[in-house]
Structure 1
Amino acid sequence: MRLTFSLISICFIAALSVHAQASHIDLSLGESANFNLVTRQNANLYDADSQGAIAVGGNAIVDHYDVGVTSNGGKVLHVDGDLSAKGSGNIKGDTVVKGNYTNDSSSQWHDPLSWGSQLYKTSDLNISDAFAELALFSKALAELESNVSASAQYSILELQADRQNAYSDNMFVADLTLAELNTYTGLKGNLFETDDFLVVNIASENVVTLDSFDVLWGLPERSNILYNFINAEVITFEQGNIHGHILAPYADFTFEKGLITGGVYVDTFSSYAGAQLNFEGAFSGNVQVSEVSEPEHLALFFVTVVLLSITRRNTTKK
């Protein structure tokens, strides 16, 4: 009887353990995916524009910079700190400023908020939480094994998908160094479908200078490509084109001139005349990671102690 009870107890505990270990969480860009730019801290924006919405976790300067050019109304700018703006009608929708809003335009007839737009003090968007999710997503992507090979063809780098080892959501991961990325003028692909997701994990020093690289042919659509800068703390993009999203949650990003067609998710952001942010759609790929929550650990421990206690008591009585 004791043996039977013990075996049942062990099986029960093992079943609970398997159930706990099988739990997963999905990591993604989350709410940030629908923004053209998200910063954890400050953003300084001068003499250019973004097609999509912007969220700033610190203070923002919007100086003759158009925000949300192709948006269809709604909130196009979220600022957790203070907003200092200059221009006329260059914020193309509703605006959230949790700190102070200052209109620095030289003329009283100029208002950076577009006609008919609303200024709000509160929002459902929590930029701090959104950025914590971005940091977790970046770390999880960096830990994935590569299922993409790379080979040089003159000035072009060809990426080839290993379709037998695709991750969920048809996610493919390539590991490149910054030197490799800066050496070639463009990327092309082989064995990819347009609706696949491609993550390029980029290993680098803490300080990064980016050259221009174009997405050519044979790769997923540009909105499905994400460049994950793992170690970068300072990134300077001097000029040229980058097609795809940029995830660098610990980096101060300076965009001097050129075009980025995707979301940019960084610690701080500064851009200048001729630095254009376009938005062609959200990166909706996700990765599953295992999770065993603390309550499950405690429940398993409690059940184990109780069952072993009962077994020991029955043994002592006999």
Structure 2
Amino acid sequence: MLKQVSIAVSFFLAANASALSIDLGPATGYNIFVKENFQQPGADSHGKIAVGGNADIGQFDVAVNHDPSYYHSGPQLWTDPNVYDDVLVVGGNLKTTGWGNIKGNAIVGGQVVSGSNPNSAKGTITYGNPIDFEAAFDYFDDLSATLAGLDNTGSINFLYNNWIQLDGTSDADLYVANITGLVLKNATDLTAPGLTQTDTLVINVSGKDIHFDSLNYGIREHFAALDLSPSNILFNFYEAEKLTFDYGGFRGNILAPNADFTFYSGDLSGQVIVKSWTAGWGAQANLWDGFFDPYGSDEPTPPTVEVAESSGWALSLIGIFGLIMLRRRNLQAKA
């Protein structure tokens, strides 16, 4: 019996694991992963950032929880107080006006724009292109489309025009819910009493131009709070070309490989994968819960495997096929 499918650079089967985990492959280890340009004048991220195009970060603090000299809320991600991590990768040009606002090393594929603060990085600024962003987003396109093709695991109710109810239990530790962008925009609450801490929730959201804001996972009426870490939740905006977060707090990973993302204010807890990023001073990528647990629990991180470059895509197809066949067998068994 298949007990785990990990979404990584490839899908892979782990016979001794107990839950389905989502590990977003090329974006693993990054709080924010952007194909094209990134622009934000201020605020901060807890984790690392990778940008395929140009990055204008102003006084934005990059990867504050990788800074060994100062304690921030959430997980402390540095490993050696005397060694800075590579916390910012920029494929194009970098512009920054802050002093020490890059809390480690930066790797730049283009140039540091004239007028930038020469003391912006606490570590070093070197030049190179360590990430193939085109290949990464080819993979994310395929992944997003594959997830969007999965059927609903249980029934979905939308009460009072603001409450998403997910009924039933997971199928092999995976629960899939397909909703529209309008439902997400209007939703204030989400409950799923049948899910447990070992489950993974994938919410496929249709629509090309989507606005959304806070979504509460707490108690509503006689329904208990969602018993699931935000790191086990993935919102897949598989059709989105424009994606806008207006305000408030939102917990869960975001996959929107073809969306220009506008982030006005509030805070996001999770990994964010988008085409481009434009945000304001009040937009925080805080309490990062994508690959590390900010609450300090002993929950293990997903396992990883070494995949030869020539075989990665083949393994990905094998894993996708295995997931589809598993769901078919379960549906036949229920029939």
- TM-score, normalised relative to structure 1: 0.75
AA paired with 2:137? F
Q: Tell me the distance in 2 between the aligned counterparts of 1:132 and 1:173.
A: 23
The share of aligned pairs that are identical, in percent, is 32
Of the three residues 53, 56, 59, the one matched with 1:61 is 56
Of the three residues 131, 138, 156, the one matched with 1:132 is 138
Does 2:256 match 1:259?
A: no
Aligned position for 2:289: 280
Aligned position for 2:91: 80
Between Structure 1 and Structure 2, how many residues are aligned? 257
Q: Deviations over 1:60-115 (max 9, x none)?
A: 1011100001121411100011101111100001111011013635xx7x62111x
How far did 1:123 drift?
5.0
> 1:70 is paired with a residue of what secondary structure?
helix
AA paired with 2:34? T
5+ residue gaps, structure 2: 1-9, 13-22, 67-77, 79-83, 219-224, 292-300, 304-315, 323-335
Q: Tell me the distance in 1 between the aligned counterparts of 2:259 and 2:91.
A: 19
- Is contact 1:46-1:65 (8 Å) kept? yes
Aligned position for 2:185: 182
Of the three residues 107, 125, 130, the one matched with 1:119 is 125
Q: Tell me the distance in 1 between the aligned counterparts of 2:26 and 2:38.
A: 19
How far did 1:153 drift?
4.8
- Is contact 1:253-1:268 (8 Å) kept? yes
> 2:53 is paired with a residue of what secondary structure?
coil
Of structures 1 and 2, the one scoring higher in RCO (CA 8 A, sep 6+) is 1
Aligned position for 1:102: 113
AA paired with 2:183? E
Q: Tell me the distance in 1 between the aligned counterparts of 2:130 and 2:95.
A: 22
Of the three residues 159, 163, 166, the one matched with 2:166 is 159
Q: Deviations over 1:97-143 (max 9, x none)?
A: 011013635xx7x62111xx122212543222222221111111001
Q: Tell me the distance in 2 between the aligned counterparts of 1:153 and 1:194.
A: 25
How far did 1:33 drift?
2.9
Q: Tell me the distance in 1 between the aligned counterparts of 2:213 and 2:188.
A: 8
- Is contact 2:31-2:45 (8 Å) kept? yes
Which has more strand, going by share of residues? 1
Aligned position for 1:48: 43
CA RMSD of aligned residues (A): 2.3
Which has more helix, going by share of residues? 1
Say if 1:161 and 1:88 are closer, same or farther in 2 by CA, change over 3 A. Answer: farther
Does 2:38 match 1:35?
A: no
- Is contact 1:207-1:232 (8 Å) kept? yes
> 1:215 is paired with a residue of what secondary structure?
coil
- Is contact 2:31-2:290 (8 Å) kept? no
How far did 1:259 drift?
0.9
AA paired with 2:11? D
AA paired with 2:101? N
- TM-score, normalised relative to structure 2: 0.71
How far did 1:219 drift?
4.0
5+ residue gaps, structure 1: 1-24, 292-318
Aligned position for 1:12: none
Aligned position for 1:173: 176
Q: Deviations over 1:17-73 (max 9, x none)?
A: xxxxxxxx6185202032111111111021111111000011110111000011214
> 1:102 is paired with a residue of what secondary structure?
coil
Aligned position for 1:16: none
